[in-house]
Structures are given as C-alpha cells and as structure tokens.
Amino acid sequence: MAQQQQQQQQPSHHKVALREDGLPRAQGLYDPDLEKDACGVGFIVNIDGIPSQRVIRESQSMIMHMEHRGAASADNETGDGAGVLAGIPHKLYEAALLSEECGGVELPAPGGYATGITFQDPETSAKTEEQFMKLAEENELKILCWRTLPVDASVLGKVAKSQEPYCRQLIAFLLVVFSVWVSRSQQSFG
C-alpha cells in the first residue's frame, strides 16, 4: 500500500516503463537496443578563457575519480588511456627551447608557432624525424626543435610497457613567419 501511495505522488513524467534488463522501453527517438557502454567524459574549463594550472589540476583529479576511463587489457593493468586537451603552455615551452636539448632556441610569441607530439618506434625514430623534417620543409614549415618528452613508465602495465612508444615533441612555424622573425631579431641585436 505504501508503494501505491508513493507511485501516486510521483508526477507522471517520472514514470518510466522498464524492460526486464532494467533499461527503459523504446520511446520517441530512444531505442534501448542501441545502448552502448561508453567511457566517461568530463569538462573542466575556465569560463573567462584565462590560462590556469587549476584547470589542469582539476582535470587530473576528475580523471582519477572516474570509475571507467577506458578498456582494460588482458593484464588488467593496461588501459586505453585518458587525456587532457589544454592550451599551449608558452612559458613551459619557452624554457624547454632554451634547454641544452634544444640548443637555446628562442621561442616565437604565442600564436606564432605550432607544436605536436609524435609517438615513434625507438628503433626508427631518427629516420622518421628526418622524413618529417623533409615533409615540413616542403610545406614551408621550419622545425625549431625536437625534444624527448618526460614520461613516468612506472605506471604502465606489462602490455603497455612492451609497446611503449618513443614520445617526441616538435615545435614548428611557417617559414614566412620565420623570415620576418629572424630579420626583426637581427635588427634588434645587430
């Protein structure tokens, strides 16, 4: 009797007819036969558009608290990954290019360059980068620097560790922009 009273108190839009498997019955555009398990997605933003490390820290916390971030491999230690899309951290890259690995290259102003991360086979990386640089030049891009990204391989499962790529970052910009930048630098320091 208490159940009947509770059902009568609920608004009619809360009554959902369920199938035996617990999913709602087909209604409108919804078809339970099209249901799929999906990885979680979350969004953390600074609505003002001002870059902040807080966004990265909160994104990391969100990812760590998501119960399901992707499929697990047979070793139950290797997932299919999770990531964060963020703006280019100009100050970090500026310091990286001034490092010994990049030969003290000066980074252009924000918006004046592009960056990418490549996942390479460690045994063929030199040839891969050589071919990439050739392709870049053919498309009027100047590669300023290749750098090896720091990784923490201690968190990888056995399967992932056996297939771990060589992670390299490149920083590039258009040769037309490069020419203007070089001539301005020469005028400033000449």
Residues noted as catalytic: 39
Of 1, 100, 86, 91, the closest CA to residue 45 belongs to 86
Q: How far apart are CA 176 and CA 139, in angstroms?
A: 11
Residue 120 DSSP SS3 = strand
Of 84, 139, 79, the closest CA to residue 117 belongs to 84
- Cβ-based burial of 141 (10 A; exposed 0-12, middle 13-18, buried ≥19): buried
